[in-house]
Structure formats: C-alpha cells, structure tokens
Chains A and B, each alone.
Chain A
Amino acid sequence: MKLLSAPCLVLALAGAAFAADAAGDFTERHDTIYNSLTIEKRGPIVEMRARARGSEALESAIDTRDPMLPIVHYIKTVYGALFIHPEPKRMLMVGLGGAGFHHLFTAAFPDTLLHTIELDPKVLELTGQHMGFKPGPKTPVTIMDGRMFIKRNREQWDWLMLDAYRGGFVPPHLKTEEFYRECAARLTDRGIFISNLHATTELYYSDLKTIQAVFPQIVIFETAGRGNVIVVGVKYRDPIITDPAKWADPDSLMKPVFQGRVDLKLVRAEHSRLPLNRMRAGKILTDDFAPVEFLDALKANNADEPRAKK
C-alpha cells in the first residue's frame, strides 16, 4: 500500500477535492459535518449537489450571467404562493441550499425581510464563494436547526417555507404534525406555509396528509416532469384559497424582474388536484411515529390517481 503524499494528505484531511480546467470550469467536493457536497461550474452554470444514496441530488444552481434566473425548475413553481399571498413582507426560509431562490425574490421584493435558517455553516460559506449570495440586513442567515429556530424564535411570518433537503432526504423531525403546528403558530393571520415535496415516493402522500391535518386549506403546484410539488397551506378556512377562479390574474402579480424568468401563467397552470385517493392510505407523521426513511424508499404508485391539471 502506497503512502499518500503530503499534499494529498492535506487535501484529504481538509475533506475537499478540487479539479479545474483552463476554461474556469471546476468541480469541488466538500465533506462537511452534515453533508457531502459537490460544487460544479460548467460554463456559466454553477451547481450545488449533495451526494447521498449513491447519487447526487441537485440542491441548487445559478446562472452566473443572470443569477436571478431560476435554473432549478421548482424555484419558479414556488411563486405559485403569490396567488395565495401576493405581498409578503416577512419571509422565513428553512434551508439555504445554494440560494437559488434568493436572488430573484430579493429583487422582486426589495423591502421584504427574507430570513434564512441553515444547519450547515459550510453551505453558507460555499454559497457566498460560488453562488453569489451574501447575507445582508434584509437577508440574514442563522446557522441553526430549522425546527429549533422556529421553536425558539417567536416572530411571525407572512411566508414560511421549508426546503431543507439533505441529499434528497428531509430529516424526520421536519416532517411531523407537531412541527407543522409549530410552523402554523409562527404565521401571521393570513400567512402561508410553503413546502417543497418530492412526489416520487410513498412519503409524498403521508406528507400531504400530515400537512392537511394542520392546515385546513392546502393547494399544490406540480413542477412539470420534475417530481417536485410545492404545497401551500394556510391556517384559516375563510376566505377559500382552493378555487383558482378566485385567484388574482397572473399579469397583476407579475413583477418587472419576472420578465423572461418566471411566467406566472405557466406557474398557475401547474396547480393540481390533491391526490385524495392515495392520501387516504397515507399516514399522519408525528414525533412519535415518523417512518420517513421507509416511506421515502418506496416508489410512489400513482397509477390509480387522476392527476389532470386544472
């Protein structure tokens, strides 16, 4: 067995690997205490991916020519939340990722506070280095477990979004009824809860059922062909939010910076019916019973569920 050379040893100990070419493209690998991350630059696109389960899940991506352009498709779908709450003044986001959401949102809503909670300090560091995001007075970042922050911080939010994936996997404690109740308690009266779900496994139906157990009204937007579903929930029963006919016209919600980046007509078309048949068989996940990993390992069987878009 050969001994590692000193520079190799230093790199290995640092937990990072780096490869670059003359065009400025590079691939970096970082093993943090919470994640195994890959940062890859190919031309103008910089991606942050998390390695898990033998593959890499795309966490975030930006186009360095236009950082506001959403590269990861579900980021556009998140703006479906505007149909339910069009003027967020205070937003809490659990999960920074590569800040793929932040660039456009802060440009569209420059006066809005966007407070982000991120567990992994290395993610914040890498996002600053490669994805062009630095925390500011309107965009603070707190390094903490998302649930712990929500439990300890008593502020109220207009939008509260969960996007805390770790290699395509969400920790079980961010999936339970009790946690969603803690989230609901931090919303303003007309505030909305937003979560990015994966519709590819049986966990999806339990996710929806659990969210519905807490939020009396929920609507979903399916990112076409990507397996992502953005669910929006509110804690009030009136007014009705589930009837798209009562939503504002997409043109009235458009912001100048959305031009060429987000088309709210297309986002509205992503609104879908809840898969009620499959949800009936789902389990309400609680702090006491949350077999998240097991449900997430079962491929979703959508064969008997009508998924026609409205």
Chain B
Amino acid sequence: MTLFAFYLAVVVLGILSMGFQMLGSRLLSPHFGSAIDVWACLISTFLAAFSIGSMLGGWISNLAPHARRRGQWACAVAAVAALALTALWGRALVSAIEIGVASSGLAVLLSCVALFFVPVTALSTFSPQCVQFLAARGMPPGKASGLVYGVSTLGNIAGVMLTTFVLISHFRVSTLLYLWLAVAVVCLAALVWLLRPLSTAP
C-alpha cells in the first residue's frame, strides 16, 4: 500500500511538472504569443528548474534526518506558495512585466522565471529523495534511480497529454491553475509523509 501510494505520488509529481508547462504556455500566450521564441524560454526555464531542483534534492536527501525533514517541508511550502502566487497573481505579474520591460525577449524570459522557476524547482527536489526512499529500503541505487525517473517521466507524458487534449479544451486556465495548486498540496503532503525518516516510517 505504501509503495502504491509512493509510485502514485511520483506519477502525480510528473503530471504536475510538465502539465504546468502547457498551462504556462497559455498564460504567456495573450502577452507574448505562442511562437518558437516563447517556447524556447519556457522550455529552458523548466529544464533549468529540473536541473537545479534535482541537484538541490540530491543535497537534501544526503542531510541528517532532522535537517532533511526541514528541507522537505521548505521545498513543499515553496512549491505550494509559488503555485498559489501563479494562480492568484500570475496574469497580473506577466502584464506588469510586459508593460515594464521594453525588450520582448527579455520580458518573456523574466515572466517564465518569475512564474515557473520556483514551483518547478521545488517540485523537482523530490525526485532524488524518492530515489533515496527506495534505496533506503534495499533497492540498488541504479535500479531505484531508473525506476523513479522512468515512472516520473510517464507522469510527465500523462501531464502533457491530459493538459493539452483534455483540460485546456474544457476548462479555463485560471481554473486549472487552482486545480494544480490543490493537487500539489495533496501530492506534496503525501510525499512529505512517505519520505519521513525510516525509524518512524511503517
């Protein structure tokens, strides 16, 4: 049961990350269009967040148990707070950047970083910790790593397809941003609980 919940949380984490990218494109589109230059900034921001989040998560997973818990809580709170910021004031923020920054390329990049970098970085910190979770239960690290990133990538695919072909065609982007926030709260709460130190884990 614990393992089922664990893998489900990893899949949902993948859905949240890449589905958010598709939502992000719709958030930027009214201000900057949806041409290849906008996508370049959007994808680069997400990749940078994945990269830094993975390194930060790897570092957190190696901390002493109490410090690790603090790190997990901090990342979960940062992800939820940043998703809430995007849902509540995302459009206003992009509008302000569009008006305030003369260079459109810079404005797109700033908007991407302001809206997407923190939540995606914070979400990404949990993947290395999920690897640690399996490794701590005796799974060889290579196998654990392959399994977590494989399952998470399946979640990424599901996130892209579900968001693009089902959600965006039926719901408002603002509604979906609140849905992302709600799902993130549940998913991260589950992960923080699952990733607690082994001595207190079931």
Contacts and interface: CB of A to CB of B under 8 A. Distances in A.
A173 B25 CA distance: 11
B35 A33 contact: yes
A145 B171 CA distance: 26
Interface residues of B, number: 20
A10 to B, nearest CB: 23
Interface string B161-193: 000000011111110000000000000000000
B36 interface: yes
A172 B171 CA distance: 15
Nearest to A120: B35
A34 interface: yes
Contacts of B36: 33-34
A291 B32 CA distance: 17
User: Per DSSP, are chain A's interface residues mostly helix, strand or loop, or mixed?
Assistant: loop
B104 interface: yes
A179 interface: yes
B30 A287 contact: yes
A148 B33 contact: yes
Given A144-B104, A145-B104, A148-B104, A172 B34 contact: yes
Given A33-B35, A33-B37, A289-B173, A147 B30 contact: yes
B172 A145 contact: no
Interface residues of A, number: 21
Interface string A283-301: 0001111110010000000
Nearest to B164: A293
A54 B109 CA distance: 32
Contacts of B37: 33
Contacts of A119: 33, 35
Chain A CB within 10 A, most for which of B35, B36, B173: B35
B32 A289 contact: no
B29 interface: yes
B32 A148 contact: yes
B107 to A, nearest CB: 9
A144 B174 CA distance: 27
A253 B91 CA distance: 45
A171 interface: yes
